[in-house]
């Protein structure tokens, strides 16, 4: 039988399951935390903040943007999953900060001959401005608790440090 594209994952899961312990909670965030960050595979929010399963809700988008889907998830997380604080974490060397939407459309069109011009990628020309704007988007949502604590920061892929931003 030919190897399948997911064989490595199924094999890894068999090893994982040997030592797996069932979670003690019902899905609430044990540290009352949600982290919104980029989908970049070099960023591991669990590692950055030393989080364990059950500690935090993790939401990921291209560029750590606070999209409508992120807001919807935050409404559930704050009202039903004990989240009282939210970190919005961008990172250095983010592809979404080094390309415009137009450049991404062109790059994808060149690589895959797919016309993506009807999509809004939410690319970022100024990361600090975008983070401040996304924090404001959370703070101004009528569906989220007014007392929600929100922090914006940038994770440095080189040093492993986060820099807090005032928003």
Site for Zn ion, rule CB under 5 A = 38, 40, 94
Q: How far is the CB of 149 from Zn ion (least distance, A)?
A: 24
| Burial classification of residue 62, based on how many CB atoms lie within 10 Å of its CB (0-12 exposed, 13-18 middle, 19 or more buried) | middle
**Cα(25)–Cα(52) distance, rounded to whole angstroms?**
12
Q: Select 38 or 144, whichever has its Cβ closest to Zn ion.
A: 38
Q: Select 93 or 149, whichever has its Cβ closest to Zn ion.
A: 93
Rg (CA), the chain: 18
Q: Select 32 or 121, whichever has its Cβ closest to Zn ion.
A: 121
Q: How far is the CB of 22 from Zn ion (least distance, A)?
A: 33
Q: Select 29 or 38, whichever has its Cβ closest to Zn ion.
A: 38
Which residues of 32-141 form beta strands (DSSP E)?
A: 33-38, 56-61, 85-91
Q: How far is the CB of 154 from Zn ion (least distance, A)?
A: 11
Q: How far is the CB of 139 from Zn ion (least distance, A)?
A: 23
3-state helix, strand, coil in the chain (%, to 5): 35, 20, 45
């Amino acid at each position: 039988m030919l190897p399948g594209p997911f064989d490595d994952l199924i094999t890894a899961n068999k090893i994982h399951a040997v030592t797996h312990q069932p979670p003690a909670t019902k899905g609430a965030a044990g540290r009352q935390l949600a982290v919104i960050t980029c989908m970049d595979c070099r960023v591991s929010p669990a590692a950055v903040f030393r989080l364990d399963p059950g500690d935090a809700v993790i939401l990921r988008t291209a560029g750590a943007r606070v999209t409508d889907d992120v807001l919807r998830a935050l409404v559930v997380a704050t009202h039903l999953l004990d989240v009282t604080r939210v970190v919005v974490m961008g990172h250095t060397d983010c592809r979404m900060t080094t390309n415009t939407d137009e450049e991404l459309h062109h790059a994808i069109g060149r690589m895959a001959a797919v016309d993506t011009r009807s999509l809004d990628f939410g690319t970022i020309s100024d990361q600090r401005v975008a983070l401040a704007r996304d924090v404001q988007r959370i703070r101004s949502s009528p569906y989220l608790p007014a007392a929600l604590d929100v922090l914006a920061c940038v994770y440095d892929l080189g040093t492993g440090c986060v820099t807090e931003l005032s928003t």
